[in-house]
Amino acid sequence: MDSATLATAIGVDLFALLGTVLWYALRIGAAVQVLPVLGGRGMPVRARLVVTLAMAGAISTVLPTPPPMGVDATTILGVLREVSVGLVIGLLLRLAFEAGQLAGEFVSQGMGLSFATMADPLSGASSPVLSQWFYLVFALLFFTLDGHLALVRLLANSYDGLPIGAALPDRQALLAAVPTFFSTTLRASVLLALPVTMALLAVNIAFGVLARAASQLNPMAIGLPVSLLVGLALLMLLTRELQAPVQQLFDDAFAAARGLTG
């Protein structure tokens, strides 16, 4: 074999390998784009691209070779299918983190910290400081509980139930996955914030009654600092009990994502 033939063969192999990685990068990249911690504005675009290509390259070595790309309707539909599945998987996991941020919104109202806001790394908008605190706690627990390894396993196993080029088994289930899991997220956020919110409500009612009994007392000057101190103390106690409900929420999110691909 002469050098020209060898160079041509190597070029063909490299292009075939690139096409394989790109096929797997579609679903993985769509999921990473909307995932918390790894996606959003909290991570630069180049870093997300590197993570996507690294995961796609690693997964492509242990899974079957996808169909070749071509400029036709079949390829376009396949690309849209891969992106849709990746987006749904990423949104399900993102909703689990949104439960923590919603719980922070509820607690902020009772503590009087709803005016204290900072930039949200997920959306770029402003959100209460406590919402960011819950987000960071959820992120730490996600990595502590090996959620990143479960994510890689989920994406790799999704190609077993829904290979590249295969038709979606149930389009209605894919479209209803995120709205269905939203009720679970809403219930979890309310349950997380309920103990602190009810305790702060009792404190605010007590100071309201005290202000009616002694009109010279200023409930804003006394009640707000006390509510803040009580809220911080309750958050310290809540932190010790967060692991079990957050782990259950992550398990529900992964179970819902696995249900999409069989």
pLDDT digits (tens, 9 = 90+) for 153-189: 888 888 887 887 776 666 666 667 777 888 888 888 8
Model confidence band, residue 6 (pLDDT cutoffs 50, 70, 90): very low
Q: Amino acid identity, residue 84? A: S
Domain count, the chain: 1
Q: Which domain holds residue 10?
A: 3-260
- For residue 119, the surrounding DSSP H or E stretch is strand 117-119
Q: Does the pLDDT at position 117 exceed 80?
A: no
Averaged confidence pLDDT in the chain? 78
pLDDT band at 10; cut points 50, 70, 90: very low
Q: Range with the lowest mean pLDDT among 55-59, 170-174, 251-255?
A: 170-174
The two three-digit tokens of residue 164, written as one number = 């590249």
206 or 141, which is more confident: 141
**Listed residue (254, 85, 107) closest to 191, CA to CA:** 107
Does the structure show a pLDDT above 70 at 237? yes
Supply the pTM of this predicted model. Answer: 0.80
Residue 117's SS3 state is strand
pLDDT digits (tens, 9 = 90+) for 66-106: 766 666 677 778 788 888 888 888 888 888 888 888 888 88
Q: How confident is the model at residue 48 (pLDDT cuts 50, 70, 90)?
A: confident
- Confidence (pLDDT) at 80: 84
Instruction: Please give the pLDDT value at position 217.
Output: 64
User: Looking up tokens 């870093």, which residue turns up?
Assistant: 47
Answer whether residue 214 shows pLDDT above 70.
Answer: no
Mean pLDDT score, 41-47 = 76
What percent of the chain clears pLDDT 90, i.e. is strictly above it? 0
Distance separating alpha carbons of residues 190 and 180, to the nearest angstrom: 17
